[in-house]
Amino acid sequence: MSIAKAWSEPVLAASGAHCAAIVRREARNFYHGLKLAPEPRRSALYAVYAWMRRADDLVDDGGPDRIEQVAAFRAATERAFAGHVPDGDPMWPALVRSIADHALARADFDGMLDGQLLDADHRPCRDWAEVRHFCDLVAGTVGRTCTRIFGANDSRAMELSTDRGIAFQLTNILRDLREDHGMGRCYLPADELAQAGLDVASLLAWSDAQRCEAFMQAQVARCVAYYRSSAPLDGMIDGSCRPTLWAMTAIYGGIARRIHDRPRAVVEGRVALSAAAKLLVALRARLGWHGGASVP
């Protein structure tokens, strides 16, 4: 389909509505922040999320031919960056429009897919360098893409948005420790676990409270450092998008704070903010009742 046809109002409206529905259904933590963004930036963020959801589903649910499916999806994404709308998924017109409107970087979309493939062929991360590389692929790329939509694209903003994305992903890694272990995955640096005299099983069993506490506090401290290093990003984006970025950071930072306050909670269940707490964050963001990012 040509880009001119894709940009007809009925096609764009239907594609935008499709992407918005995916965000409402799937983006448990991001939705409350994304919906605060002004149009047309909100629809662009929704389109990018829908693309990421599709990429994630291909890896998680694609079965034995998922590598081939990801390759086909990568080729379709390449066509989208060339200004053409691939067939087969109603999210494409909105994504093509977003790519053009916000000069999105294809390298970041390729990086996201590389991260999905790395996750599909999962092996434990040997050290922090491997953890950071993974975080950059699956989350730093997202941070840079969102920052372009937020209205900043200089090198300093890209560096800071990478740090913010890594902070979010490290929060996920700590929060999802039990769930990931149940799927045979671990994203903690193996060398640091060994240096602490632990492995994942002993950490989940909290077999040595002092060692486990110290190890988890060190991991949370690294996570918080990435939130703090990225703090200047908030002042670099378009003012109308700051409530969105603040809300997203407040929700993820709130999870990091809970882990900081009680590290053992990650082995007892899923650490999360309640729906009411997320709504309060969104309300504060919308009304401007906030200061810096909500991190420990």
List the pLDDT tens digit at each of the 296 positions of the chain: 445 455 677 888 999 999 999 999 998 778 878 889 999 999 999 999 999 999 988 887 767 788 888 999 999 999 999 999 998 899 999 999 999 999 999 999 999 999 988 888 888 899 999 999 999 999 999 999 999 999 998 899 999 999 999 999 999 999 999 999 988 889 999 999 999 999 999 999 999 999 999 999 999 999 999 999 999 999 999 999 999 999 999 999 999 999 999 999 999 988 988 888 888 888 888 887 665 545 54
pLDDT tens, 4-20? 455 677 888 999 999 99
pLDDT at 191: 97
**165-296 CATH pick, 3.30.110.40, 3.40.50.300, 1.10.600.10, 1.10.940.10:** 1.10.600.10
Torsion angle of alpha carbons 19, 20, 22, 28, nearest 10°? 140
Q: How far is CA 13 from CA 97, 148, 179, in A?
A: 12, 22, 37
Q: Pull the structure tokens for residue 75.
A: 């080729």
Identity at 159, one-letter amino acid code: E
Domain boundaries, the chain: 1-121, 165-296
Identity at 76, one-letter amino acid code: A
CA of residue 139 relative to chain centroid, distance: 5
Query: Which burial class, exposed, middle or buried, applies to 9 when counting CB atoms under 10 A from its CB (0-12, 13-18, 19+)?
Result: exposed
Q: What interhelical angle do 9-26 and 41-61 show, nearest 10?
A: 60
Q: Please determine, looking at this structure, whether the domain spanning 1-121 carries the CATH number 1.10.600.10.
A: yes
Query: Which burial class, exposed, middle or buried, applies to 220 when counting CB atoms under 10 A from its CB (0-12, 13-18, 19+)?
Result: buried
pLDDT at 2: 45
CA of residue 124 relative to chain centroid, distance: 20
Phi, psi of 230 (to 5 degrees): -90, 0
pLDDT at 291: 59
Residues 117/67, Cβ–Cβ less than 8 Å: yes
Residue with tokens 């062929």: 121
Global pTM reads 0.91
Residues 103/148, Cβ–Cβ less than 8 Å: yes
Distance CA 40, CA 146 (A): 13
pLDDT at 76: 96
What is residue 293's three-state secondary structure? coil
pLDDT at 289: 63
List the one residue out of 283, 51, 216, 273 whose CA is nearest residue 146: 51
Q: How many residues in the chain?
A: 296
pLDDT at 4: 45
Asked whether the domain spanning 165-296 has the same topology as the one spanning 1-121, the reply is yes
pLDDT at 14: 93
Query: Which burial class, exposed, middle or buried, applies to 276 when counting CB atoms under 10 A from its CB (0-12, 13-18, 19+)?
Result: exposed
Distance CA 38, CA 26 (A): 20
Distance CA 251, CA 227 (A): 12
